[in-house]
Chain A
Amino acid sequence: MKTLTFLCALLISASTFASDKYTEQMTKHIHTVYTAKTTEEYQAAINALDRIALAEKTKWEPYYYSAFGNLMLATNENDGGKKDSYLNLALAAVEKGKAIAPTESELIALEGFVHMIRITVDPATRGQQYSGMAFQSFGKALGINPNNPRAQALMAQMQFGTAQFFGSPTTEACGLANKALQQFDTHKSDNPLAPVWGKEMTMELLKQCK
């Protein structure tokens, strides 16, 4: 009997060990994506996340962070062509994530972020179309989870950018940024792998508001 209990316990711990491996590995690579400095660091983390994504067929988080890594590479890139190819990879990862979790507010907000960075390649031509798509994604993300601080902050960023471009008042955008900042403090997710980025970006934005 004791043996059986022991075996059972062992099996359970073995299986939790397996799922812990996911969390453990993810945590490690998420940390790299958040802190990477060089393209090589990003690339290594993205590759690792892509490997996990391929092995785990039901998890959206690896795709999310793979997309996030490519998005960061895109923002650091000056060449329009390369920027677009990183964004294509980011969008492809978001799409795969959405196939697993179609109503995940974080994924939809990230999709909007991809559209937003798309504009920077050629604002005059892409502005209208992609700003529309970005606003739509942020709106959708907030519709699913009104407390998603990243969706809120990105919406604020987008409004701020357009207001600045046209030289109109940024009060509404700054109001949103303040709201987002509060949500960063109050919004807690049960998911240990849930995204936590964006607070600094919002504080930067609020600095410009003053």
Chain B
Amino acid sequence: MKALTTLVLFAILIPAFSQTRITGKVTDATGEPIPGANVLIKDSYDGTSSGVDGTFSFVSEEKGPQTLLITFVGFKHFEQVVELSGKDITIVATLKEEINQLDGVVISAGSFTAGEEKRRTILKPVDIAMTAGATADIAGALNTLPGTQKVGESGRLFVRGGDGSEARTFIDGMVVLDAYGPAAPNTPSRGRFLPFMFKGTSFSTGGYSAEYGQALSSALVLTSKDKAEMNQTDIGIFSVGADVAHTQVWDRASVSGKVQYTNVQPYFGLINQLVDWTKAPESFESSAAYRQQVGKTGMFKFFVNFNQSSFSLFNHDILNPIVKQKFDLINRYRYGNASYQQALGTWTLRGGASYSYNQNDVRVDDKPMGETETGIHTKLVAEHSVSDQLEIRIGSEIIHRHYEAARYNEVLGGSEELSFSEMLSATFAEGEYYISNKVVAKAGGRFEYVNLNQSATLSPRLSLAYKPGKQGQFSIAYGSFTQSAQNQYLRMNTQMNPETAQHYIINYQVITNRKTFRIEAYQKEYRNLVKFDTANPQLISNSGTGFARGIELFWRDSETIKNADYWLSYSFLDTKRSYLNFPFVATPAFASAHNFSAVYKHFLSKMKSQVGLTYSFASGRPYHNPNRAVGEFHKDRTPAYHDLSANLAYLPKNNLIVYMSCTNLLGRDNIFGYQYSTSTNAQGHYESRAVRQAANRFLFIGVFITLSKNKSVNQLPNL
């Protein structure tokens, strides 16, 4: 009996005698010791942390074959089977670096990203909303970045010698046709989508991913917000209208809706306008967004937007201003976008469909004109992480567009129709390979087929980035881009080939915690541009060519001055084209050689206010004076453009914001170009009229209230 007890006790005590001591050292690939690594025997409590010199030593009571596991942040797990028999074991562990896509190298050539999550972004969504002079317009804020040209009478993004139609907008990967609202001739238009809808903005001025096509110069890739976090109602009352929005949140879904009405009439009644309005712009807009989480990783997003805007004005003849022409416009716009994303292990599938409908119902002296464009885009993309170093992405999309235009024909005494339907199918594949945390390469291609003219194009895209130190990095990029000829030319001749551009970009950028420096140079070659002869506009061909090259600088600092943040952008552009009705190679009218912006924001915590100032400069733009000889086409330059804008956001209460902004504080009479009379006057001269700002300044005052259970929420990030 006693013997048995002893035996049992002995059996229990045995493990105590068979401890195994494990000692060793943890280092990285270069032999540097790793302190603080977790060293353990799997499925036991036994283990320790490595010391300052990377060494460790511990005792395990386990027996037999066991797995030794070493983990440390930023490194791959180290595993080794060890035999625990009481004999001392020595382990030398070399941990492999994990590819870290947050702090590691990233391809930065050509692109500016703004996001909430990553710290290493150049702009934040709130920057876009709170840039003075931008009046909460995405394009307005991006126009303070290098690579853009100020084209004051347009409001669109003109990127690196490309015209406004060469920059495309994408929401959640889906194309947006007609991304800008209607505007009276020579007045700036605004983007249809407000910055607050998006959690991420990626603005590429060239060399972008093979996923995006049909854009010669620039891709503006917007990622909409995920599920909302709390119920709230937002009310805004401002000088040109009012809006109300409500968000309802459930555990795994959210819905938000917004209605907005704007009417500029009362404002125009106070501030004199150059435009002879008979009915000032009025617009009604409603939008709704639905978000649903599906399973652990699935997210369904649905967004719709309806807009109707109208205005009416008189255009006066240049030679004889008493002669005037009535111009009425009603714009009807609908946009719908549904997308779904789901992660399945190392795969991510995403797909979506978008629908755009844009109708411009125009009457010129009550004669009907106008155009309608309908587009449907469907897309499916699969992304696969082959390893932590290699990621591949393949996808396919179809963009179907139907375009119809009516033109009043004086001879027929009625309108005639011009229309086309275009079906574009594209397939793209792209691979991104992290050779190490210092070097990444991305290569891909995009194949496009357009049914209208049976054109097939293959566009290669390549980029490479190298990060030699902790902060600075070099990037280079090359890409070939195509875009269908603009609607007004395609409708005349559906056999027009796509226009093409080749981009070559080299970039160096340093981002520290709160400072950014960036320099970029590029060369761009245009081919197959639309060309025709003024005398015979029916003879339209793809024989146009052109180039653009330039150097751009960007500096942002939110560290040096307390409570302040500023950025400076400079772009130099040299561009010439022979396209449209140009008699020979010349700089287009939208291009200015030098563009400069300075944006300054200051937070005054005592006054609960933020003030912002933006100064913009653009050197003179070419214009054509028909009184000159043909050989002097685009020889003249407009005066330089200067604008100093300011804004102020004041928060008297947590949930109340008073917002004021004013453009062109100094009241400079900026001239964007000159229009000339179509016939000569009595002296045989063509008379000119300057294209100016409709009013020297635009003043905006608004009050924004947020009602929610949590009183600290306000609309600041939305402005």
Residues of A within 8 A of B (CB): 2-3, 6-7, 10, 14, 21, 25, 40, 43-44, 47-48, 50-52, 54-55, 79-81, 84-85, 89, 121-122, 124-129, 131-133, 135-136, 159, 162-163, 165-168
Contact = CB atoms under 8 A, between A and B. Distances in A.
Contact of A10 (B8, B35, B45, B230): B8
A55 B43 contact: yes
20 contacts: A3-B1, A3-B4, A10-B8, A40-B35, A40-B52, A44-B36, A80-B119, A80-B513, A85-B73, A122-B124, A124-B603, A125-B116, A129-B229, A132-B710, A132-B713, A159-B712, A162-B712, A163-B712, A166-B651, A168-B711
Contact of B103 (A21, A81, A122, A135): A81
A201 B366 CA distance: 73
A117 to B, nearest CB: 15
Contacts of A79: 513
A56 to B, nearest CB: 9
Nearest to B251: A140
B235 interface: no
Contact of B47 (A47, A125, A131, A133): A47
Contacts of A25: 45
Contacts of A81: 103, 119, 513
A85 to B, nearest CB: 7
Contacts of A132: 229-230, 710, 713
Contact of B45 (A21, A85, A121, A168): A21
Please provide the 10 A-B residue pairs with the shortest distance between their CB atoms, ordered closest to farther.
A162-B712, A132-B229, A47-B38, A166-B654, A125-B124, A47-B49, A43-B36, A51-B40, A128-B717, A51-B47
A44 B8 CA distance: 36
Given A47-B49, A80-B119, A166-B653, A125 B230 contact: no
A166 B513 contact: no
Nearest to B607: A167
A90 B237 CA distance: 42
Contacts of A125: 116, 124-126
Contacts of B103: 81
A131 B712 contact: yes
Q: Is the interface of A mostly helix, strand, loop or mixed?
A: helix
A118 to B, nearest CB: 10
Nearest to B38: A47
Interface residues of B, number: 41
Contacts of B49: 43-44, 47-48
B230 A54 contact: no
B712 A136 contact: no
A44 B38 CA distance: 8
Contact of B716 (A89, A126, A128, A163): A128
Given A55-B45, A132-B710, A40 B651 contact: no
Contact of A51 (B4, B45, B116, B716): B45
A131 B710 CA distance: 10
Nearest to A89: B73
Contacts of B44: 51, 55
A52 B45 contact: yes
A122 B42 contact: no
B229 A136 contact: yes
Contacts of B651: 166
B12 interface: yes
Interface string B98-136: 000001000000000000100100001110000000000
Given A3-B4, A121-B119, A166-B653, A50 B712 contact: no
B116 A129 contact: yes
B5 interface: yes
B5 A166 contact: no
A69 to B, nearest CB: 12
Given A81-B513, A166-B608, A168-B654, 16 more contacts: A3-B1, A6-B5, A43-B36, A47-B48, A51-B46, A54-B42, A54-B69, A80-B513, A85-B73, A122-B119, A124-B126, A124-B603, A125-B125, A125-B126, A136-B229, A163-B654
A168 B654 CA distance: 7
Contacts of A128: 713, 716-717
Nearest to A122: B119
A54 B40 contact: yes
B119 A135 contact: no
Interface string B682-695: 00000000000000
Contacts of A133: 229
A81 B73 CA distance: 13
Contacts of A2: 1
Contact of A168 (B52, B513, B653): B653
Interface string B385-410: 00000000000000000000000000
A43 to B, nearest CB: 4
A167 B126 contact: no
Nearest to B565: A124
A52 B211 CA distance: 45
